[in-house]
Structure 1
């Protein structure tokens, strides 16, 4: 069985380059106007060409996402975009809408189609349907258990399976959500999600003729595939949400977690289940996060690269993968639905802030003739502070304290701030452009 592919997000060309430098086998990038990260997508057509050319120069792969659900007004420009993108020879298109797939198959039959997770493929019959329509790979819904993934592969072995292993989780079925549209008139299915599910809401209880309902499930209500099948019982009264920025507007709901971020999903981390996913038939491990930083891209890529390599060598993990991943922004990790429904553990009710044990300090941009390094500062750095310098290969990492720092005018600094210009200082060991620096949060 082949080594699974590590597929990383590429929100722009810089993130693409860091993803590859730190271990990715392939990346996915958004087609301008037509991907579900339209607001964060910095690629333009000429940038897509540069990205594809750069990727292929490394002998690696790039998949282009065209996964919105277009209204009639977007069909003609989308067809034109598909024609333009096809000429650039990406390794696949990622698509969800049947009409878009239909046009892509007619316009560029030579380019493989990967079915987006937005299509919500959760059973083997759907996999068979899409295979017969010419789809070569299915990006399965995050809501599946390992047993369900294995069954899909056993029933339809002649289609590739891709699975998200890391990143943010949508509170709706694989992103099929109307909440953003309702709250802020930004349609998630057109690529402009405002993440309304992560806003702060107050909860009020009221009484009307029609009662609400609450989930009252027990362990006995799990199906043999590990799917949650709840039973509902009536509540006394109804419950209403009031969003922090909309006082006086009450939205009826049957959620009963008072004063909390009731839709704020924790993050997916399946790094401890890679072997099980491979055994279930998954050929590509996908990471979410096109809108996240180069620090996230590099840190997550190298950790999953190390985990995959050690898995393939048949050796036990040489360090705690989850602890390493916790050095990047996260909302607390869960393994999704792989082994069971996470139920109340799926949400972090207390607040909507990013958890992480470390903070991105900066990136080395250049080594000067005098041996000093030019560092682009991303967050505050102080003289005397201990920082961790990390590379694509964990064995090269080291820590040191910040010594003499100078700004671009040669002035000696006690502290440097993100956005205030580059600084120069000397590392204790050799470094090269692209090496990242972080510090432990206090």
Structure 2
């Protein structure tokens, strides 16, 4: 590998402290999170000021950067108190601010001129001239629009070598261009561009003829309904070698509102993939020779909710990028718990767990370790045959984990299809 090459940063969502801890555990280089205001995920757990300061401290202790979202499209009323918040973020040690609104960007430059500014994907940057424009405004990194293909990314990189480029590689896709959607506002009064999206793109729709009130006709003949706006999830896992070769500085996982199990599984897999690409390059492989092994396909099938699409990466997406007949795919796995102690094995359960269940432990290696619940008891030692979500249990598995369990690691089990 050439000495000047470096792999893209792995940027992970942290919608709560628990998700932040999980993302860091599984190898994120940086996390992005939001405060209670000015963030496009108002319904995420988010962080109050004390929590945000604690999150930055925890991340920095583990060598991880923290980028804070200040990325709503602001009305005049939204500017009240913004300057003091920006000063707080600077004093708390945030590594960068993520912005979309030009007015907020201007206030950031005036109030905290020493803080790096990252441009949100909502700013809709789709060409090299726009990159030059935002670079001239003081932006140090641009999260490019999700509607760009690989050749466009390469062209932008070549035309703008002095700015950081960030690309979403995994997670939910919005039906609207760069996520700038008005559907939620029209249908529910909740403004997506202010961080309060009700996600109506995931609803089931039917046709209503005005002279036949109360009679709803399916747009397609399917008893489960029709999800005409429902995109499959983005997945560029197998395109990481091409993104790295193109000079992308950061690859970003969507999911501040997803579960801790989702965040952990996705970060773990993308960390393993980036490490694999790096190892192959250091061994002398050309970029075009690097192909992820089949084990990655097995694992990615266990992560996510709506199936997968590469979106615009190679060509404009077709109807195959949509999931028309249901809100989400049937999930093959269920996260069942988070390790809270390693010796003895102490598990905080997130779904029902029963004696005899087959589990997979998500360690640092790509392939999970498979084991069986041999015994479990409450924290006070009372034996259990079944543990409900939210329990703290002592767990014995067979065979024992090769290297023991690490605190903050995840267990999952095969999904109970009969529960569908």
Give TM-score, length-normalised by structure 2. Answer: 0.89
Distance 1:324 1:105, change over 3 A: same
Aligned match of 1:223: none
1:156, distance to aligned residue in structure 2 (A): 1.6
SS where residue 162 of structure 2 aligns?
Answer: coil
Aligned equivalent of 1:391, options 360, 363, 367:
363
Aligned match of 2:273: 307
Work out the CA distance in 2 between the residues paired with 1:372 and 1:55. 27
Aligned match of 1:283: 249
Residue 29 in structure 1 maps to residue 4 in structure 2: no
Alignment check: 8 A CA contact 2:206 2:219 kept: no
Aligned equivalent of 1:350, options 312, 320, 325:
325
1:205, distance to aligned residue in structure 2 (A): 6.4
Work out the CA distance in 1 between the residues paired with 2:301 and 2:185. 32
Aligned equivalent of 2:226, options 260, 283, 287:
260
Aligned equivalent of 1:440, options 390, 398, 414:
414
Unmatched 5+ residue regions in structure 2? 281-289
Residue 56 in structure 1 maps to residue 60 in structure 2: yes
SS where residue 43 of structure 2 aligns?
Answer: coil
1:323, distance to aligned residue in structure 2 (A): 2.4
Alignment check: 8 A CA contact 2:233 2:304 kept: no
Alignment check: 8 A CA contact 1:364 1:435 kept: yes
Give TM-score, length-normalised by structure 1. Answer: 0.85
**Deviation readout 1:62-109 (Å, 9 max, x if unpaired):** 111100011101112222211221222211100000000001011111
Segments of 4+ moved more than 3 angstroms? 204-207, 247-250, 255-259, 408-411
Matches within 5 A, 1:83-102: 83-102=87-106
SS where residue 359 of structure 1 aligns?
Answer: strand
- Larger displacement relative to structure 2 (289-298 or 407-416): 407-416
Work out the CA distance in 2 between the residues paired with 1:33 and 1:269. 29
Work out the CA distance in 1 between the residues paired with 2:164 and 2:381. 56
Aligned match of 2:284: none
Work out the CA distance in 2 between the residues paired with 1:410 and 1:289. 37
Alignment check: 8 A CA contact 1:364 1:432 kept: yes
SS where residue 127 of structure 1 aligns?
Answer: helix
Alignment check: 8 A CA contact 1:298 1:392 kept: no
Aligned match of 1:406: 377
SS where residue 341 of structure 2 aligns?
Answer: strand
Aligned match of 2:351: 379
SS where residue 308 of structure 1 aligns?
Answer: helix
Aligned match of 2:51: 47
1:203, distance to aligned residue in structure 2 (A): 2.4
**Deviation readout 1:392-428 (Å, 9 max, x if unpaired):** 3336x42121112222454332222213x22222232
Aligned equivalent of 1:127, options 123, 131, 143:
131
Residue 171 in structure 1 maps to residue 141 in structure 2: no
Aligned match of 1:338: 313
Aligned equivalent of 1:329, options 280, 283, 304:
304
SS where residue 313 of structure 1 aligns?
Answer: helix
**Deviation readout 1:365-392 (Å, 9 max, x if unpaired):** 124xxx5422111111121121111213
Aligned residue-pair number: 396
**Deviation readout 1:337-361 (Å, 9 max, x if unpaired):** 1001122012100011344221111
Unmatched 5+ residue regions in structure 1? 208-239
Work out the CA distance in 2 between the residues paired with 1:64 and 1:120. 19
Alignment check: 8 A CA contact 1:89 1:111 kept: no
